[in-house]
Chain A
């Protein structure tokens, strides 16, 4: 075996050298010039390969940005931060397009208690499958099937199935990538601006009677919320028996619309709103009583008025109308937990 050692070393070493030389030559010959901005842009993207930008993966989006084909604000999960940092890398001003942070909302409130079930569904635990198999167990043709397909597609763990059989959105985690929107076979999930506090949680286009027979909280299409008296901003318009809400227009009046809605199809994301109080400056002129959309102010003409706390929705319409500035909102508007 002594004679075998040297040839073995030479042969293997030679092969190794040969391959190394070949690889070195190939790496020179076939070197790919990559844009140095590409890895930098990919670093500032969300990196979830979610496809919300419309490109197959973050890499494809970054390449499109460099070529100038994609808008720098295209990465929704990355949000404003990604946009401004891409702008920095690309040497652009980030003011080109207005970026509105959005959040996924479930437009159905008909849980196990509210919505009628036709039968017990025991098929594949998947909404698309249930939709094919006779449209699922829920009597409402528009409502959430509650089998959690959206929960499973969410790459950010922002969705979870609530006790009532409806998915819940964790707004902290939601990046508005839109995967759940396209996964929902009933198109219930919508991306609305994060600033919107009130949204319509129903997509049923059925007539009032049909809706009432299947769900206690479904929109009956009465059109009350779209009346100029309720929403003077014109944010709500009726279309095919369903109110369409323009969240960019609506303000306080959406709160009023939510309070006026007979079946309560609107959801107010703020769990506890501050209410107004009337102090001793009040001379009982009665203006606030007329202004109040929900009839929460009571009092005789000429005497100090009182707020009916159960009725007040904290819209604040009366505050600016009071000639004596006697009305004030107690506490701050926002996500205040009841203490």
Chain B
């Protein structure tokens, strides 16, 4: 149990995908203007990350390794993630229209989110088995959501702040992202991996 807890804390805080590993910066800046959209995106990412962990792990251990095709991992993982997102979208539309509409455009957007591919590759590098991969995927998703929510909260307040004209919009968002990232460096001593 303790091990899983460490993986979770490490993925959420210490090695936060956005603020420490700098993965998924595009949605981090793109959908962090409002808290509700940030939450929608975050939920979609948690969902897909957990599922992608399972499937990429299975493909890697039961298809790629037995045939000595490890060098194909990036290509096959992209294939898996893209198909998975498409499948989830189709199923969700039928089974839970409300969740489908809540996730909206963010679900297909995730296909091209590098954080998901990064997660799949990190699972391999860290030699995680299936259960560890799922926990890591869940933690990574929560970490992504956390970063997105903090960012959106700050940006909503920034709307009313008196920012110098050349810094308005994206520039100040990048500065905030940098400051946030530095703040998350403070967690680096929390877990020794």
User: Are A and B part of the same complex?
Assistant: yes
A332 at the A/B interface (Cβ < 8 Å)?
Answer: no
B1 at the A/B interface (Cβ < 8 Å)?
Answer: no
- The chain B residue sitting closest to A29, CB to CB, is B94
The CB with the most chain A CB atoms within 10 A, among B80, B87, B91, B95, is that of: B87
- The chain A residue sitting closest to B75, CB to CB, is A12
- The chain B residue sitting closest to A3, CB to CB, is B68
| Interface membership of chain B positions 150-183, coded 1 if the CB is closer than 8 angstroms to chain A and 0 otherwise | 0000000000101000000000000000000000
A119 at the A/B interface (Cβ < 8 Å)?
Answer: no
Query: Which residues of chain B from 50 to 106 have a CB within 8 Å of any chain A CB?
Result: 59, 63-64, 67-69, 71-72, 75-76, 79-80, 83, 86-87, 90-91, 93-95, 97, 101
B83 and A30: CB pair below 8 A?
no
**A-side interface mostly:** helix
With both chains docked as a complex, state the minimum distance between the C-beta of B34 and any C-beta of chain A, in angstroms: 13
A15 and B63: CB pair below 8 A?
yes
For residue A19, which residues in chain B have a CB less than 8 angstroms away from its CB?
Answer: 79-80, 83
Interface size of B in residues (CB-CB distance below 8 Å): 24
A11 and B90: CB pair below 8 A?
no
A132 at the A/B interface (Cβ < 8 Å)?
Answer: no
For residue A124, which residues in chain B have a CB less than 8 angstroms away from its CB?
Answer: 160
For residue B71, which residues in chain A have a CB less than 8 angstroms away from its CB?
Answer: 4, 8
Complex alpha-carbon distance, A26 and B88, angstroms: 9
For residue B101, which residues in chain A have a CB less than 8 angstroms away from its CB?
Answer: 59
For residue A302, which residues in chain B have a CB less than 8 angstroms away from its CB?
Answer: none
Interface residues of B (CB under 8 A from A): 59, 63-64, 67-69, 71-72, 75-76, 79-80, 83, 86-87, 90-91, 93-95, 97, 101, 160, 162
5 pairs, CB–CB < 8 Å, chain A vs chain B: A8-B72, A11-B63, A11-B67, A32-B97, A125-B162
9 nearest interchain CB pairs? A30-B94, A19-B83, A124-B160, A26-B90, A7-B67, A30-B90, A32-B93, A30-B91, A32-B94
